[in-house]
Structure 1
Amino acid sequence: MITPARSPREPAPIPEHHPIPVSKHPESLFENNVTGDFLGLYSITNYDEYCADPLFDTHRDAAGFQKALSKPASFHLKDEKVHSRYYHGDGAGSSYGIDTNVVTYHSGHGDLSDPKGRYTPFLHHKGDCWAWSDRMVIGAKNCRYIFWSTCYSLRIGKDEKTGRQNTPPRTWGAANHGFRMIFGYQTYSNDHFRYGEKFVRYVRGGYSFSEAFLLASWVINPYQTPVAAACGSIGTETRNRLLNERKFSKARVRPTHWRWVALERHSEVRERNLQPPPIPLVGVLDPETTPSPAELALRFGLDPADLYRYGEHTTVADDRRRLSIGQDGDWILHLADLGDSAGRGGSCSDDRAQALAWAFLAEHDLDGEPLVLDQIAHITIDGADDADDADSKGADDPPAPLATLVQFRQVVNGLPVITPDAGALKVIIGQDETVVSVASSLRFLTRLSGSPVSGPPPAQLPDAEEALGRELGELLRAFALEGVVPAVTVVPDTTEVGYDIEDDHAVLAAYRLVKLDFPQGLTKSYWLRAVLFG
């Protein structure tokens, strides 16, 4: 279903223009008593050939996380500087150890195919390729939050190869000496540089740590399954931490209870488009935030006089709602806590969630730009109840629905925007039918142009398959320079022709997701992107 563009409604009166004040003291994501040892970073791009195969974006991923947090890192160890002794035993609490800082972030390869059910991040050195989860010590000293930006780092459900039931405590219980939360993946993941940056963006938009991690992963690749887990001494404490924690704390926990959430794509509600438009055109986008921050605030019943700016973001909030607007026009409206919505019970079908999402967009005049319903995803929580130890009772129970994510795509020149992290509008509906949040990366289209940005229009459009084939060839050549020849699998239903947002233009492009299986038995996925007219 596509909503047509329509004449805008009579706008609400906007107060006289006044400069938005700049905050010199941004809200920290750390509790006030955390005054140092904020963050430690590990990232591995280049591996010894005996250990693993190369990656491209891990250093930028870790550095982007640190930059977005606006806190100094005690260290950022890269490639050959990363040793297993920093993860195991007494070395975990050393100057460069995994347990040295309140937050630890590791970006690289990872796997959970060990017969004993141990997870290992792959390291650089021959003879020192692995750090094993059952030998790690995390939380005995300082670390309370550990981010694994790696494949298969937080698996749930039955392992297809071994038949073993995976859970976070079964993989990470031995390592947990007091950490509060852990983040990772049930599946393989994209090699991408914006996971950490996007996570911080969503937390600053009002989401809890667990929601922010799930959504940051979704906007990079909705075909992977992120997982966030929390630990505590009793069930209610653990559930509250899982769904509501928004500040990094240095307080240790007694990890007798575990709860976890996951975000998994459930269905696509439209067919992938494989044909270019009858007349190829370039979309020219408004470089300013449209609607303006003041107009957006009024739409959601917030006072524009309370807007303030820090860095690239403009924010306004009251006791119930928080609106955060990015410099590139993206915005997040946080309306309710997912934990509160889940606590009220209820059951919301996918059809009902779609109807509620459409109604919300119409009520707040958000359906003026053409939109198409794109995908449905489910946020689920493990099957344990609050009194259970999820390791013993919740592990074999099916996950319970927590919320439904309804995603729309912007339409340009009759085709959807297919950029993974742009041109989308996401509405999260709780099981009690509450609209929990809305996140938009739509851009206002000012006009369509027959003149490509890059130069004269081509005599004819490139064939999408051939263009994607050339992009795959370039990717494989980059690996060949490192002496690596991965096996390629096209992820089903990911090939599409549509519009790609590039700065202030929407250009005609083709996208495809490929999974690369490396000779060392590891996996990563990559988006292929080929511009057809732009």
Structure 2
Amino acid sequence: MALLDSLEAANPLRATAAAAADMYGFCSIETFASTSGLRYTHEDAQGFHDYVAQFTTPNFWFKDQNVTPWVWDKNYDNYQDQFGFDASCVSYHSGHGDMDRNTGVYRAPMGAAWNGADWIYSDAMRLGDNNARYLFFSTCLSLRVHDGMTPVKTWHGANGGFRMLFGFETESIDDPNYGKYFWEEWNKNKAFSKAWMDASWRIDRHQAPSVMACGATDVEARNRLDNERQFDRTAATPSFYTWRWFDPEPRGARRSPNAELPDRLAVARLHAPAPVERGALGERFGLSTRSASLDAHVSVGEDGFWEARLAHPAEPGADPGVRTVRLAAERAVERYGLADAVDLVFDEVRYEHVASAGTDGSGTEAQVREAVVTFRQVVNGIPVTSPGYGEVRVRVDSGGTVTSVSDTSRPVAELIERSRADAGPDLESADGVENAVDAAVRRRVRSVTGEANDAETVAGSAEVGYDLSGSYADVVASRTVRVDCGEGLVKRYRVQVPVTA
């Protein structure tokens, strides 16, 4: 984190903006009128709310049955100049979401009915002709970019002047941390779009966050997408759209998920997070040690995790090739000693893409912005599997240049052996562990839908590994599943079962 001169330095509202009124509005739904509920949407919105509430009081926060279609209705979305999704500069919604595979219309269920309806549809909205400039739809499928879908197709008709929209190409995990992590990433001197993308990947790398920006020209839209990091009340002219997203699938060969227990069952005691001296980190990567430069290029968290930005990505271009980016990343791991204190294994390569389109039909095909090469920490012969921990990520741009490195590994102090009997008779074998996860999945499905059904496993997500989120790392078995919530809606959940706890 940067050392701030004052609290106002952490305020995301542009200093030249008018008074702080009408800045933020929130909606979150866990109990729906006509479909299965969710567990963490209030916490999701809370994380975003609590950060911005330091600077100004939000206009509203509607929850559950108080979230009805009038909030998005173009005749009422700025009701009394205070309430509704177009009443605030920044509007945040967390709940269910879906998109019609043919028309590209986004739809979402509400907490209660209004005028006989309890769903909203993007083709009935008009957002931005009042106050809305930044729209966060923390729901599944709110910003699709594949299968013939584009932000222009879904959102241009609803755009009365908003500047950016944040969502997902895929189904998303029901998780409490999207809003909280967004501001943690933003405070690492990242643009809004990158903060949203990186926050979402801290939760689950099998989902694909996406962000769009618009402007009067393609250059303006691209600049907004890449660089905007302060909220601006100025309405956008939505003539051109640019969007970025992470690929939901890895490229090339990836590490095979581990299904086996370690030969020696043990709990790992972790070293306490060691202070990371930013100046030394800057010198390690050949960055200027001047404070202003380090603020722009090096961020360090209280947990000792860090990120160093080494170069601005080249202009998006053609696929540089998986072999090229992997070799560049492996050389960076060796050059900077990233495996000196921990064991690392190559995990996967995923691409971040960018594309653009004008409302006149012009545009560019998807281009590679960066490749993200992930190396995973290995403890006691098996990988770390807890999201956001035990990873070294190296970003490589379309020209093959390493642009940034981040490290969330935790060195191990000692392994404390456990006998197989300590795990219990049902967890002594890989088959027993898999059965335990199956049972946990059924319990989770029952908690969401009321029925103890099985759920589809997201490809590549089932694994046995270590959870590094505490002071001690336990062996766990985890799996991400797709839960059918009814009415054509699906939500993802990550299910984890402890083996050595």
TM-score (norm 1): 0.85
2:92 aligned residue: 105
Cα displacement string for residues 137-174 of structure 1 (whole angstroms, at most 9, x for unaligned residues): 2111211110111111111232xxxxxx3211111111
Residues 479 and 485, structure 1, Cα contact 8 Å, conserved in 2: no
1:282 aligned residue: 267
Cα displacement string for residues 413-453 of structure 1 (whole angstroms, at most 9, x for unaligned residues): 1111001221112111111222222222211222222269x
Q: 1:390 to 1:464 in 2, by over 3 A?
A: farther
Q: Secondary structure at the match of 1:402?
A: strand
Among 369, 372, 385, which residue is 2:345 paired with? 372
Q: Which is further off, 120-129 or 415-424?
A: 120-129
Q: What is the distance in 2 between the residues matched to 1:124 and 1:247?
A: 32
2:72 aligned residue: 87
Q: What is the distance in 1 between the residues matched to 2:378 and 2:359?
A: 43
Q: Secondary structure at the match of 1:192?
A: coil
Q: Which amino acid aligns with 1:135?
A: A
1:192 aligned residue: 175
Summarize the alignment of residues 224-263 of structure 1 with structure 2, pairs less than 5 Å apart: 224-263=207-246
Q: Does 1:139 find its partner at 2:136?
A: no
2:333 aligned residue: 361
Q: What is the distance in 2 between the residues matched to 1:209 and 1:75?
A: 22
Q: What is the distance in 1 between the residues matched to 2:202 and 2:125?
A: 31
Residues 442 and 453, structure 2, Cα contact 8 Å, conserved in 1: no
Q: What is the distance in 2 between the residues matched to 1:303 and 1:381?
A: 30
Q: What is the distance in 1 between the residues matched to 2:284 and 2:23?
A: 38
Q: Secondary structure at the match of 1:392?
A: coil
Q: 1:171 to 1:22 in 2, by over 3 A?
A: closer
Q: Which amino acid aligns with 1:337?
A: H
Deviation at 1:302, TM superposition (A): 5.3
Q: Secondary structure at the match of 1:399?
A: strand
Summarize the alignment of residues 33-432 of structure 1 with structure 2, pairs less than 5 Å apart: 33-34=16-17, 35-36=19-20, 37-48=22-33, 51-69=34-52, 70-71=54-55, 72-94=57-79, 95-113=82-100, 116-126=103-113, 127-158=116-147, 165-264=148-247, 265-267=249-251, 269-289=254-274, 291-293=276-278, 295-301=280-286, 306=291, 317-318=292-293, 321-338=296-313, 341-342=314-315, 348-368=320-340, 369-382=342-355, 384=356, 389=358, 392-394=361-363, 398-432=365-399
1:467 aligned residue: 436
Q: 1:92 to 1:103 in 2, by over 3 A?
A: same
Deviation at 1:321, TM superposition (A): 4.3
Deviation at 1:492, TM superposition (A): 2.3
Deviation at 1:56, TM superposition (A): 0.3
Q: What is the distance in 2 between the residues matched to 1:304 and 1:450?
A: 44
Deviation at 1:219, TM superposition (A): 2.3
Q: What is the distance in 1 between the residues matched to 2:406 and 2:88?
A: 31
Q: What is the distance in 2 between the residues matched to 1:438 and 1:488?
A: 36
Residues 499 and 507, structure 1, Cα contact 8 Å, conserved in 2: yes
Q: 1:320 to 1:337 in 2, by over 3 A?
A: farther
Q: 1:457 to 1:103 in 2, by over 3 A?
A: same
Q: Secondary structure at the match of 2:75?
A: helix
Deviation at 1:277, TM superposition (A): 0.8
Deviation at 1:497, TM superposition (A): 0.7
Among 409, 414, 417, which residue is 1:442 paired with? 409
Counting aligned pairs with the same residue, the percent is 31
1:457 aligned residue: 422
Q: What is the distance in 2 between the residues matched to 1:171 and 1:228?
A: 13
Q: What is the distance in 2 between the residues matched to 1:413 and 1:23?
A: 44
Deviation at 1:373, TM superposition (A): 0.9
Q: What is the distance in 1 between the residues matched to 2:333 and 2:413?
A: 21
Residues 468 and 529, structure 1, Cα contact 8 Å, conserved in 2: yes
Deviation at 1:486, TM superposition (A): 6.1
Q: Which is further off, 498-507 or 33-42?
A: 33-42
Q: Which amino acid aligns with 2:94?
A: S
Residues 287 and 310, structure 2, Cα contact 8 Å, conserved in 1: no
Residues 488 and 515, structure 1, Cα contact 8 Å, conserved in 2: yes
Residues 42 and 76, structure 1, Cα contact 8 Å, conserved in 2: yes
Cα displacement string for residues 259-299 of structure 1 (whole angstroms, at most 9, x for unaligned residues): 11110132352111111111111111122235455543442
Mark the runs of 5 or more structure 1 residues left unpaired by the alignment: 1-19, 159-164, 307-316
Q: Which is further off, 62-71 or 20-29?
A: 20-29
Residues 484 and 519, structure 1, Cα contact 8 Å, conserved in 2: no
Q: Which amino acid aligns with 2:92?
A: Y
Q: What is the distance in 2 between the residues matched to 1:297 and 1:509?
A: 36
Q: What is the distance in 1 between the residues matched to 2:359 and 2:405?
A: 31
Q: Secondary structure at the match of 1:236?
A: helix
Root mean square deviation of aligned Cα: 2.4
Residues 353 and 404, structure 1, Cα contact 8 Å, conserved in 2: yes
Mark the runs of 5 or more structure 2 residues left unpaired by the alignment: none
Q: What is the distance in 2 between the residues matched to 1:302 and 1:530?
A: 42
Q: 1:485 to 1:346 in 2, by over 3 A?
A: closer
Q: Which is further off, 270-279 or 110-119?
A: 110-119
Q: What is the distance in 1 between the residues matched to 2:215 and 2:41?
A: 31
Deviation at 1:472, TM superposition (A): 1.2
Q: What is the distance in 2 between the residues matched to 1:215 and 1:22?
A: 22
Q: 1:182 to 1:466 in 2, by over 3 A?
A: same
Q: Which amino acid aligns with 1:355?
A: L
Q: Which amino acid aligns with 2:146?
A: G
Residues 258 and 391, structure 1, Cα contact 8 Å, conserved in 2: no
Residues 77 and 87, structure 2, Cα contact 8 Å, conserved in 1: yes
Q: Which amino acid aligns with 1:358?
A: E
Q: Which amino acid aligns with 2:345?
A: V
Q: What is the distance in 1 between the residues matched to 2:467 and 2:344?
A: 15
Q: Which amino acid aligns with 1:472?
A: V
Q: Which amino acid aligns with 2:392?
A: L
Q: Which amino acid aligns with 2:243?
A: W
Q: What is the distance in 1 between the residues matched to 2:255 and 2:31?
A: 40
Q: 1:305 to 1:319 in 2, by over 3 A?
A: closer
Deviation at 1:221, TM superposition (A): 1.8
Residues 25 and 59, structure 2, Cα contact 8 Å, conserved in 1: yes
Cα displacement string for residues 219-259 of structure 1 (whole angstroms, at most 9, x for unaligned residues): 22222222111100011111111122122111111101111
TM-score (norm 2): 0.90
Residues 112 and 119, structure 1, Cα contact 8 Å, conserved in 2: yes
